[in-house]
Amino acid sequence: MDAKTSFNRRLPSRHVTEGPERAPHRSYLYAMGLTTEQIHQPFVGVASCWNEAAPCNIALMRQAQAVKKGVASAGGTAREFCTITVTDGIAMGHDGMRSSLPSRECIADSVELTVRGHAYDALVGLAGCDKSLPGMMMAMVRLNVPSIFIMSDEDLDEIERVACPSAGACGAQFTANTMATVSEAIGLALPYSAGAPAPYEIRDAFCMTAGEKVMDLIASNLRPRDIVTRKALENAAAVVAASGGSTNAALHLPAIAHEAGIKFDLFDVAEIFKKTPYVADLKPGGRYVAKDMFEVGGIPLLMKTLLDNGFLHGDCITVTGRTIAENLKSVKWNPHQDVVHPADKPITVTGGVVGLKGNLAPEGAIVKVAGMSNLRFTGPARCFDREEDAFDAVQNRTYREGEVIVIRYEGPKGGPGMREMLQTTAALTGQGMGGKIALITDGRFSGATRGFCIGHVGPEAAIGGPIALLQDGDIIEIDAVDGTLNVKLSDDELAQRKTKWRARATNHTSGALWKYAQQVGPAVDGAVTHPGGAHEKQCYADI
C-alpha cells in the first residue's frame, strides 16, 4: 500500500472509493467522467448558493469553477453542488419573510446531508446573502471537515433600476456584509477574500487559492472546530460591533457557536459589543459602503487596528494555518482614508450594537445604535400582534409621536420564522418619524434598519413572554446606555396578567414552517433547531 492510498483510507471518501466492495460506487463516478486517479484523490465538496433569485447569488457558479481549478491543481477532486437561498430583499414585506430565517437551517442541513451522503473529505462554501452566509458556516462547523468560506460582495445605489449594478450582496454593513466580515474575523475565510466585490477579477483568484488551500487543510487535519473557539467567536463579535454591523449577528454567532458545542449566547455577544469601539464609518449609520472599505485596506485594516489596541485575540488559528496576529503582521495602517478610524480614536467608544435586558426582556434584546445620538426613550406602548397591522397603522398615520410601537407574535415560534420588520421601520423613516418613536418586537430587523428599533425580545410572545402581556398605554423605558428594557409594571401585575394569557393558534399547521415552529429554540441561543455539537459522541469527520 503506497503512502497516498494509506492517507486516503483515513478520509471519509474511503467509504465510496476504496476496496472491491465499492465497485458500484465507483461506477457512478466513472459515469461522470472521473479518471481512476481522480477517484482515489481526496474529494472536496464545493457548495454554492447559486441561483437566479437575486443578484447576491448569480456570480457564485463562476466563482465555484475557480475553486474547482484550485482543488484540482493541488491534487484533489472537486464535486460541485448547490443549496437553496431565500433572499430577504425579495421576501421582505410579505408572508415570504417567514421563510427567511428557517432557510438558514435548511442551508446548513442540506450541505451537511450532501457532504455526509457522498462522503466528501473537505468543503469550500460560497455564499452571498443574509442567511446563506451563516448557514454555510454552521454546516462547516457541524461537519468539522477541513473547510474554507468564500463570500460574494458588491456595491449598492439608491434608485430601483440601478440599485444593484451587478452581482453580489448589498453594499452597506447590512447582514450579508456583517457576516462576511465575521468569516474573516472568526478565521474561516482567507484574509481579504470576504470584502472583494463580486465582479472583480481578484474574486476568482481568491476562489482558486481557497481550492488549493483546502487541500493543505486536509493534509494538516486543521478543522473548523479547531478554528471556531470561544476566543474566535469573541473576535467575530468585536468586528460586528466595530463595523456597526447587523443585529442579526446576535442570532447567527450563537448559532455557529452551538454547532461547535460552545455556549455563546446573546448576552455573551452583547458583552463584547459593550467594550468594543465603533470605528468603521459604514452605512446604514455611516457614510461608506463595503466596497469603500475594501479599497482602503479591507477587513484586515479594520482587524489590524482592533488587534493593535487590544480588542482582538491574536493567538486564534485560521484557515491559513497561521494565527490572526500572524495574518495581520504585514498589514500597514492607511492614513489616507477615513472609512476606518483608529481604534484609539473611534467614532464612539462602545460598539454600534447594544444588548438590552430587563423585566420586558429577561432573555435579552438587541438594538443597533450606530449613527444614533439619543440612546434613551420612554413612551406608552401601542401593541400589534402581527407586522401587517402595525404597517397599516403607520401607513394611515394612526399612531402618535412618542409612542413605542410593539409588534409581537413574530418570534421564531410565533411567526413562525422571526420575520424582519423592515417594511414598518422603512415607512416610519420615510415619514420622518425615525427618531420620534421607538419600536420593539420579538421578531428581527434588517441590517438596513435605522432608528430606535429593538429586536429579538425574549421570551417571545408565543410562549407567554412579558411582551405578550403588554397593553396599550403601558409605559416602556428603553436605555441603550445602561442596557435596559423595562415596562413600568410590578412583578405582581405581570404575574396576574400571565394567568389570563392563552397561547394563540397558528395558521401554519403543516409543512416546513410548522416543523420549524416545533423544533426552534429561543433567540437568545440563536434560534437553532437541533441539540448541537456539545451533544455529539462522534462528528462526521471522525467516521
**Residue 99 cell numbers, joined:** 421563510
**The one catalytic residue among 103, 446, 490, 510:** 446
Q: Which residues contact 304 (CB under 8 A, 6 or more apart)?
A: 297, 328, 331, 333
For cell 413612551, name the residue: 379
Identity of the residue numbered 187: G
Taking the CA of residue 198 as centre, how many other CA atoms within 13 Å lie in the half-sphere pointing to its CB?
31
Q: What is the C-alpha separation between 367 and 209, in angstroms, rounded?
A: 38
Burial level of 464, CB count in 10 A (0-12/13-18/19+)? middle
Burial level of 20, CB count in 10 A (0-12/13-18/19+)? exposed
Q: What is the C-alpha separation between 328 and 305, in angstroms, rounded?
A: 10
Total residue length of the chain: 543
φ and ψ at residue 48, rounded to 5 degrees = -120, 145
In the residue annotation, 446 being an active-site residue is answered as yes
Neighbours of 438 (CB within 10 A): 24
Neighbours of 145 (CB within 10 A): 27
- CA 7, distance to chain mean position in Å, is 35
**Preceding omega of 459 cis (within 30 degrees of 0):** yes
- Catalytically annotated residues: 446
